[in-house]
Structures are given as structure tokens and as C-alpha cells.
Amino acid sequence: MSYFKPLGSIVLIVALIAAYMSYFIVDERKKALVLRFGEINRIVEAPGLYLKLPIADDVVQIEDRKVIWESQGKVVQVVDGRRYKVDTLTVAHIDNAQKFRQTVGADLTRARMRIETRLDSALRQTYGRRNFDAALSQDRNVMMKEIRDQVRAEALALGMNIVDVRIRRTDLMDDVLEDTYNRMASERKAEAADLRSKGEATKTRMIAEADRTYTEKIAGARKQSEILRGEGDAERNKVFANAFEQDPEFFAFYRSMQAYAASLAGKDTTFVLSPNSDFFRYFGGGKPPAQAGGQ
């Protein structure tokens, strides 16, 4: 009995180890390749608990989610010879797990290196057919589709699919950045000088037009004022003439009173006139000189 107790414990332990090595779990974010003696036996894509042969079977977990690769500082050259740095974003997915295992050993790092090599070539070809402005215009979307389609052919050979390729940023290289800034500054200065000269010409024209309009309006106003003044003087003379005709004596008296008011307005006014002067005919309480001479 003492001999069978250790043997039973060993058998139990071996059974537990065999049972532990006989199952595996597939996460919902993964899919699994079951390898039997190094060869693919089956592919498990649904999540859950599965059985395998201990020792004979190995399980390789493969990413079932979309993978995102960022690539920075890709050097490209456009048709005018200038070079640029391009940052891209690549979205990929493993569609064929068996081919992925056979081509790159189910290694995402190796797959990325091969796809990025094709991405470099696609970027150079796509940018090399265009100028820099195309990357900043509506042609940008067309360029990204062209790059994606070129890279997709390489990815399919690895069992992967390129979902999308995005150009995040396109910058000038450091050696041409300063020259480009200087050229842009010169263009802006020339444009500013042109706008400034046009503004000065417009200003001069507007001032000349304003001066001409002012002169014309002043001349018109003066002309109208002279016409109105002449019409007023004529109307006044007409009124005076009518008044003179109706009562000549009163008209003479009225004119004399106006002359007195205008002549004697100052405090230091001095007259050297004869008392019998016609200027004083209504000055004082006596009768007019003409009537006094007739008596």
C-alpha cells in the first residue's frame, strides 16, 4: 500500500498537468492558430474555450483588431525638385491568419517592416508626379487613395488588408525651409508694395475728386447766393420804389433816420456841417429847411 500511494500522487499530478495543457482560451480580441508539430492544424476565430493535444499542439495567438502604425519623417520629392517630410498613419487588419503565419511567422514587427518599405516607394511615386500645392488641395484625398492601393498589394501577400492610409502632415525639409520662407516673405513684400501703391493711387484720385466736388459745390453755392442776393436787392429796391411813390416825404424821413443811426452810432463821432445842411433837415423839432425858406 505504501508503494501505490506515491505512484497514485504522481499519476494524479501528471493527469492534472495533461488536463491543464489540453485546453486554451481565445480572447475576443484575438484569433488562434493551432500548430501540430509545427504545421497549421486549424484556425480558431471565435472566442471561447478550446481543447488541444498536449505536447503535440502549440497555439499561436494572432491580433484580430485593427492595428495602427505611425510613420514619421518619410522623405519625398515633388516635381519641382524640392524635398519634404511626410508623416503618415496606416490602418491594417489581419484577414488571412494562415498566410500571415506562413509569410512573416505571425510577427507584426516583420509585417510592418515589409509594408513600410512598400509605403516609402508609394509615397515617392505619388508625390513625384505632383507639385507641393497638390498635397494641400483637394488632390490630397486622391493621393491617399493611390498610396493605399499601392501598399495594399504588398499587404495582401502577407495575409493582411490595408484599411486606410492617411497623410497627417507634409513639411519642408530643413535645408529648404529657410529659402522657402525667404521667398514667401519676398512675395508678400512685393504684394504689399503693390497694394500700397494702388492704395496711394486710389487715395490721390479720391482726394482730387473730393477737391473738385468741393470746388464745384462752393462755386455753385456762391453763384446761387449771388443770384438770391441780387433778387433780394431787386425786391428791396422795388419795395422802396413803391414806398417812395406812395409817400415820398415819409420815405425821405425813413432814409434820414437810417443815416442818423449809422452816422451817430460811435461815441466819438464829430460832424463839421452847417446847421442848415440838408442832412439835418429832420434833426430837431423845427420844420424842414425847404418849408422854412418858403415862409
pLDDT digits (tens, 9 = 90+) for 212-244: 999 999 999 998 998 998 888 888 888 877 777
Contact by Cβ (8 Å): 57, 35: yes
Mean pLDDT across the stretch 182-195?
A: 88
pTM (2 d.p.): 0.53
All three cell numbers of 257, joined, read: 433816420
Q: If you count DSSP H runs as helices and E runs as strands, how many of each does the chain have, helices first?
A: 7, 8
Q: Where are the beta strands (DSSP E) in the chain?
A: 23-26, 30-36, 39-44, 48-51, 57-63, 67-77, 83-94, 160-172
Q: How far apart are CA 107 and CA 27, in angstroms?
A: 18
Mean pLDDT across the stretch 175-194?
A: 82
**CATH 3.30.479.30 applies to domain 67-178:** yes
Between 39-43, 141-145, 192-196, the lowest mean confidence (pLDDT) is in: 39-43
Domain ranges of the chain: 4-63, 67-178, 191-246, 247-294
Inter-axis angle of helices 97-104 and 108-128, nearest 10? 90
Amino acid in the structure at residue 155: A
Give the residue, 97 or 4, on which the prediction is more confident: 97
Q: Which residues pair with 185 in a beta bridge?
A: none
pLDDT digits (tens, 9 = 90+) for 110-146: 999 999 999 999 999 988 888 777 766 768 888 899 9
Residue appearing with cell numbers 513684400: 189
Banded pLDDT at 1 (limits 50, 70, 90):
very low
Q: How far apart are CA 93 and CA 162, in angstroms?
A: 7
Kind and range of the H or E run holding 49: strand 48-51
pLDDT digits (tens, 9 = 90+) for 53-84: 787 778 888 888 899 999 888 888 888 777 88
Neighbours of 145 (CB within 10 A): 13
